[in-house]
Structures are given as structure tokens and as C-alpha cells.
Structure 1
């Protein structure tokens, strides 16, 4: 029987796990370690180790340690620096469901500076010495290359436990310079001070190979990931993805010698594949992935032939890699092309000979990333250009499958100042060709976005906020009218449309929940429905009338699977959550329909059935 529900999309913020805006801790503040953007939480060696947590806006005028439970509704940043804190300014808020957990392991690398002042002082001495470092220059200014202590591992574990105790999931990043102390940023003198990795050989770090008995076959990075593996497996249920940020300043995989070495990516990504649960995506850049792929398969791919790489087979190591985009839609740089501050072209040069043409082409890279069908995570950017202005931003996000965006680092007024109208959204957009400069006219392809009348009159920022990752709308629902409690089969069927930019990446368990209308009983039965098949329309037409983009589902459940079910009327729900979720109601996937979500069950009501006596 067809159910009487509201099958239209409710155009509001729906905080679902593994997708959406996240509140990055990019706050330029003064600490006892000097001015720092406070990107990552510094992992201590022992209880008395000097350290800090990210200083993040909790509420207007309030600063506190909120790492792991930073999921309160927060306004998107409008691009105007209100130092020492970014205060939003767009008037458009979101309730992030993904907590950014950056772990800075600087205390465990003899090349990683412990403060901005330490890095600058080293840099001054190095310059005075003609660029030749000595061990004395490092002393007292860096960590010490060594195994992670049990206390350090417990800090990571406790932080992930806060996520599990809360209502969200975690974007995990591990690095040796999460706060950028090894880099001089800004201006003509921008440069790397020293590669922060414990695998970078310097007078203060004479060997990349660890000397721990029984682990002499590992690099120091491999040892640290081996140590972290049990913690990551323990908290698999609340991890969205893991950023493979052990190379370079901020863990962004650029600038340092290790971050420009293909062999370093081969060993790094193999170590992450071994350490992180197989169910979770790993984020890297295109160059890093190609370096790993070539080493794994004996190939010599570069950016020249990205389109020749096969689409990853489900369940393969290749399918586990997503993409991080550290300057999302930042656009063109004089002399550098349309590379988003190098974020999209990162690693291209290390795959070819010195001075050779890299083969980088933005169109080709974006197409390749989209074909991967995995997580795409973006940091700040949004410089005013064709890729960040609407409607180009919509087309770009659909092609990439943009999943996660840092709502605290980016000029989101770019989207907020635009009303979402048919005229604006469907205007043709011509993108830059490979060799075009920073200003139109451009010679690339021309495309149009599809106008969704559900968002008519809202802001472009509201539309973009709600389309990040997946967004599931129930379009129809049919249930068995009356069922026998012992021999009957409850037939649940219907259609779901994914109107987001991307898909459900991490596997979910779909459970049918029957709750008596009078509240006397609640029983459940598992199904084998795989919601990862619910992909968005490839042409971006997610309008409700595009029934070709609807996904049919059919779930027959024998009543015996529920156990003893008393006669009466029952509301039927679909609970969609991680297979290893430890609670009965948290982190369930919520349909973007009015009146279907039941918070105490963490499930979506899809109708009603009568169990006969």
C-alpha cells in the first residue's frame, strides 16, 4: 500500500554523518608558542609536555577547547578577518556533523619545530651560515624522533572517544607540522624552513629508519602508523576518512623533500592502507596517488595520461583513495595557471623529468577526481573566479563530488551574496582552457547548471551547504498493509533520490525498525540494502521530476526476523547507520523530508503496518 507521507525535499540544513561543512580550527591567535593559525591539536609526549588545543569559536566571544565535540551550529565565514577570531558574518549557519581532528606529532620528529619562533630563529641562523645546517641549530627547537608514547596514543584515543560520545564523525589528519611552524608563509620570501618529517635526513635526524628492536624494517613514519593502527581500528565506527598528511608543512604534502619524492608516497600510502580500517577512505593529492599507483603496478603514469587510468574496482586498494583540495576553487595564479594555489597540480612535477611539461590540465584533473567517486575534502579558497562564483561553483562541485568543506576558512560571501534564481543558475558558463590566462574570454567548455525550484529565492550558500556530499530524499514508499506476525513477510519498497554532489562513501547497515504506535514495543531486523548505490544524477539534474535519477529499493523482511511481535499497529522506520555503530540512535542517515525523521530512533519513518492477531 502506498504511504501518505511528504515526499518533497525540505530545503533546510540536514546534518548527516560523513558529509557537509565542518568547522575547521583556522583561527589566527596569539599563544605562548607565538602567533599560530591553531590548525591541529598538538599531541603531547607525557602529561607535562607543553602543548595546546585548537582555539575555536564556540559561541560569540567565547574561546574554548572543543576538539572532538565541535558540532554546535556555526555561521560560515564571510572572508573578512576579525582577528583574533573569525566570527562568521554570512548569517547562514550549519550544524556540522563532521569534527576535524588534526593531530600534530611534532614532538616525535627531530625535524619538526615546536613553535613559530623556533622555526624563524633556526631559519635566521641557517641563512647566516650560508644554508648549511648543523645539529646545534636544531637543539631545543624541535621534537625528538622516537616511538609514540602510550600517553600520546591515549590522547588520540580520548579525543576520538569524545566524537563517539557525541553525535558526529571525525575527519582525521595526522602530520608532523600541523601548525605550519616549518614554513615561512606569505610574501615574496615564502619558503620551507626544514622538512618536518622524521624520515627527512638532517644533522639532527641522521636516519629515516627506526632503531626500535624488531622494527628495523620500518621507517619512522611506518612505525608511528603501525602504533596508531589499533586506535584507528578501535574507532572505525566514527571515522569519516583519514588524511594522509605525514609529508610537508601542515600535512599538505608539498614543499618538503619527502613530499616531492615519489618513493615516499609509495611507502606512505602503503603504510596508511595497512594502518587504517579497510572501510575508510584515505585522502591524498593526485600526484601522490599516481606515485603510489606506479610503484604498485609498475606503470609510469603522469598527469599527461590521467584518463587512461581505470575506474577503481569496488573493494580494491585504489578505490580507497579520495582527494583533499587545500585551496578549494582558489583559481588562477599569475604564471601558475588555474591550479588553485597548486593544490590541484600538486605532485605533477615529481612524476616527470626536471623542467619537463607536467601535463597538468584542470579539466582533466577534476574529471579524474570525480570518476574516483570517493571523498573530496576542501579547505579555504573561493577567490572570485569562474570556479567559485555561481553558477560555475555548482558545476565544479558536481564534477568533483565535493563532500566536505571547511566552513571557517573561505570567503563564503561569494555564495551568500547571490540569490538562487533560475536566471542566475542556468546562465551559461565558459570555463578556462588549459593555457588561458586569469581573465575571460575563455576557450574551454561551456556548461549550464540545472535549476532546482525547491531552493528558489534562497541564497547560493544555503544551496551549496545542503548539496555537499550526499542528500537523500524519499520520493515514494509502499508497505504491506497487514502482515501475519509468524509467517508473514513485511515488504518495504519505494524510491530515494540523492540530490547531493556526491555519494554515500562509507558502507551503512540498513535496519527496519518497528515501533508500536502505542509505544509498547520496538523491534528491529537487519537488511542487506546497500545505500552506496544511491548516486546523484550524473548530469546534475536532481530535480524531483527527474524520475530517472530515483533509486528503487525493495526490502522484504520475514516477520520471524523481528522475534515475537504482538498484534497491533506499528510505525515502520529505516535506520541507516554504520555497521559498527555502538548506539541505538546516533549517527543515523536522515532523509531530507518533512516529518520522516524520528530523532530518538535515529531513523526515518516510511509508513505504517498492521500486525494481525
Structure 2
């Protein structure tokens, strides 16, 4: 197969076509090696703990505090925290349809800052926080017609910066954007009373967000019933996503969950509404095989909030992320087990063994077979560009492999097998694995070391490139 493209100093090759596969089964020598797992806390993207950040835009234009690149970079390099929740409060605009150009410029700048610092953003928009407790009417959010106009104006920014957006939470509705205390999407005097029209309006907001985002980005809703009601799904396992539905671009395949009162009570302060509660948990447990779950703790509730119960539930519900800032009493009760949470939130991929061709002719067949283990609590929820890398003294060649790490389920080992064409230039090449972000912008030499996946093995990470060294060389000679 001919050379496909040149990216910087890296040549990108292709897989062998069917006519060349027979050559792969000739008696080229092979070698098998095993790998040692690491217990390090790794700064991989779209998983782990996050820091909460928020900013405001009040009637006089005050309150916006831009993100600080040095602080974000410190989160990543000093704490192995690679994501933030950014709540954009829109106080000024609850009563007007048009967003200020100055405000939109500030939001754009925040995404540029996040990218430069090497983190991703969990995005939420909201109109109001309560001035005190209990909250009083009016709460301060906006009607559906205005929300939809605001989403339309935000759409170009969200699409331009999709590479550094981990997720978008449905937001907009109610205090904090959590969907309960609202002037327009429920009865303000009794927010538990949500009419059919209120539900139609809530669905309109979520569908508008899905349309605003690229097909691969997902939206999270605050309770499983929100997804069930909007999409006409039953609770329990039968209503949740199946493997056949996963990643098909439908609304069901793009709506995940965030639980912002995790472990706080039997129903997590109204997160679970089914009777019995376990039906909603069964729904989320099945759904989150393919869509993301995360959130924050909000109250000590022993023994449920203790580590033994908490860790079992995070594993069952495939938690990808958790707030490191709140609730400190709950997180503090976990003691040294917090390190286990840092390791296991989201995916934790490691090499088990690999078998490789060790010698071939220029352009000849190279067979690679890798066993990759996921010891995290969830699979990756975003695509990855999986590449086999031939790294020589003068040139580096990358071959895109037909693998999808979103299917590397928690607690499983996946066999990754491929037959590819060797470089044309004779020489000795190291073999490496690159699990790159799908964004071309983040695959550059500047960003790949930050946004590619580091495998949880000892002695494999090549920090300068973002590649994982397979510990194997291949000789290409005539």
C-alpha cells in the first residue's frame, strides 16, 4: 500500500490489503514478551478526579474570572487532574435573548486556556445560584425559547473547541443548572410537579445541545428519569443501551448521567426515582457501559458513603470522574483508599503481553498481537486513534489500526491483532503504541504527549512523544 500522508516528521502508513495478507503468514520470526503493570496515578484525559470552577456574568458585566493556565497546568502536572468542571453562569442573559459579544469572547478564551494547559472541560451553563438557603421564588432561570436562542449562539464556540470538551451537562434549567428549582420548567411553588409541557421543554433543551455538538460528544442529564422520560424508555436494564445501540449517534447513545449527590441518601437526594430504587441503578449500570457517569458527593451517609460501599457502587455504575473539591468530609473518610479511586475512576489500560514479527523485508508483513487489560471502573467514552508506531533513527512511521478502545470494557482483556506493512526504508525500528486523541489538532508533537493515553505499565511511557514503548524492535532488511 502506498504512503498515505506526511504529518510533520511522521510518515503515516496503511494496513495491508487482502492481497498482501497471505504474505503475513509466511515464516517471519516472532517474539513474545510480557509487561509489568504499574500502580502509578496517571494523568490521562477524560477520567479521574476533577476540579470545580465557575464564573459569572452579571447585569453590569462583572463577575467573569477567566481560567488561569498556570493553575490548570498545575492540576495536571502536580495532581494528575486533567479535567475541570466549568460552570458558566449567565445571570445577565436570563432576561434577554442576545449574548454579548464580549461574553462570547471570554468563553472562547477559556477554551484556549484549557487547551494550552493540557486539560479538558466538562461544560455546564446555568443562570442562577440561590442567594441563601432555602431558595426563594423567583429562582432566576430563563424560559425555553430564550434558552434555545442562547444555545444557538453558543454552538459555534462549542464546535470550535470540541477537542477540549470532555462532556456537556444539560444545565440551563433551574438553580445551578441541575433541573429542580426552576421558574419555567416545573411548578415553581412545588418543583416536584413537572407537567407534560415542562417535559417537552426540557427535552427541547437537551436535543438542542445534542444538535449543537459534534456527533461524538455526549450530554449528561442529572437523573436517570430525565433520560427515560425524554426518550420514552422504561427503567431497569431493559430500558438501557445495548451493545447494538452504542455509539450509533442516536440521542439514547449520546445522553449520559451525572449524579451530584452521590452516596448522600438511599435515593441520592432524589437522583433515583424508581420503586424500587434498584431499578434506576440497574438502568444506569447497563447504560454506562457505553455512556459516561460522574458527579460529586454531597453528604456523609455512613455506611453507604464509606469506602467499601462507595467503591463497589462506582464500579457497578462505571464512574469515570468525581469532584475532588466536594464533599471533603466524604472523600476524607476514604483515607488512603483515595489513591485507589484516583487509579480506577474511568479507564485504566495496561499491556499484558505482546507477540511481534521481529524481521521482515521492506514493505513486508508485520504481525502484532497485543493483550490490553482495562482495570478501571469504566471504558473510555470517547474515540481514540489507535496507531502502531515504527520509530527509527531518522523517521517515524505510524499505522492506523482498526481498534475502538470504547469497547475495551471495565474488567476485561482485549486482544488487539493487526497485520501491517513494514516501512520501505531498511533499518531497525522500535515498535510503540499510540492511543491518540481523535482530534488532529491534539495529535501534533506539541499536544500528543499530553492528550494521548499513557498505559499503566512500568517502563513503557515515552513522555516526549506520548507513545507507549512496546519494548520490541523489528529489523527491516532486503
Q: TM-score, normalised by structure 1?
A: 0.65
Instruction: Give the drift of 1:596.
Output: 0.8
Work out the CA distance in 1 between the residues paired with 2:373 and 2:61: 51
CA offsets, 1:438-483, max 9 Å, x none?
Answer: xxxxxxxxxxxxxxxxxxxxx3111111100110011111211112
Do the aligned residues in 2 keep the contact of 1:68 with 1:162 (CA within 8 Å)?
A: no
In structure 2, the CA distance between the partners of 1:259 and 1:466, relative to structure 1 (3 Å rule), is farther
Alignment-derived partner of residue 389 in structure 1: 306
Do the aligned residues in 2 keep the contact of 1:416 with 1:462 (CA within 8 Å)?
A: no
User: Greater relative contact order (Cα 8 A, min sep 6): structure 1 or 2?
Assistant: 2
Do the aligned residues in 2 keep the contact of 1:69 with 1:162 (CA within 8 Å)?
A: no
Alignment gaps of 5+ in structure 2: 1-29, 187-197
SS class of match (1:70): helix
Work out the CA distance in 1 between the residues paired with 2:475 and 2:333: 47
Work out the CA distance in 1 between the residues paired with 2:276 and 2:136: 26
Aligned 1:275-354 pairs, distance under 5 A:
275-284=212-221, 285-294=223-232, 301=234, 305-312=235-242, 313-314=245-246, 315=248, 316-331=250-265, 338-342=266-270, 344-345=271-272, 348=273
Alignment gaps of 5+ in structure 1: 26-39, 55-64, 76-92, 111-144, 200-207, 209-218, 332-337, 349-358, 419-458, 538-548
Work out the CA distance in 1 between the residues paired with 2:125 and 2:52: 15
Do the aligned residues in 2 keep the contact of 1:482 with 1:609 (CA within 8 Å)?
A: yes
Alignment-derived partner of residue 588 in structure 1: 452
In structure 2, the CA distance between the partners of 1:162 and 1:44, relative to structure 1 (3 Å rule), is farther
User: Residue 95 in 1 paired to residue 80 in 2?
Assistant: yes
- The structure that is helix-richer by fraction is 2
Alignment-derived partner of residue 42 in structure 1: 56
In structure 2, the CA distance between the partners of 1:71 and 1:327, relative to structure 1 (3 Å rule), is farther
Alignment-derived partner of residue 184 in structure 1: 132
Do the aligned residues in 1 keep the contact of 2:76 with 2:82 (CA within 8 Å)?
A: no
Alignment-derived partner of residue 276 in structure 2: 361
Larger radius of gyration: 1
Equivalent position to 1:52, from 52, 64, 67: 64
Work out the CA distance in 1 between the residues paired with 2:276 and 2:298: 19
SS class of match (2:72): coil
User: Residue 171 in 1 paired to residue 122 in 2?
Assistant: yes
Alignment-derived partner of residue 48 in structure 2: 20
User: Residue 253 in 1 paired to residue 190 in 2?
Assistant: no
Q: Count residues with an aligned counterpart.
A: 425
Do the aligned residues in 1 keep the contact of 2:69 with 2:116 (CA within 8 Å)?
A: no
Work out the CA distance in 2 between the residues paired with 1:532 and 1:74: 23
Instruction: Give the drift of 1:247.
Output: 0.5
SS class of match (1:195): coil
User: Residue 514 in 1 paired to residue 390 in 2?
Assistant: yes
User: Residue 600 in 1 paired to residue 464 in 2?
Assistant: yes
Kindly report the root-mean-square deviation, in angstroms, between the aligned alpha carbons of the 2 structures: 2.4
Q: TM-score, normalised by structure 2?
A: 0.83
Alignment-derived partner of residue 423 in structure 1: none
Do the aligned residues in 2 keep the contact of 1:509 with 1:579 (CA within 8 Å)?
A: yes
Work out the CA distance in 2 between the residues paired with 1:413 and 1:291: 31
Work out the CA distance in 2 between the residues paired with 1:157 and 1:412: 35
Equivalent position to 2:370, from 491, 494, 514: 494
CA offsets, 1:196-247, max 9 Å, x none?
Answer: 2220xxxxxxxx5xxxxxxxxxx11111111111211111112111011010
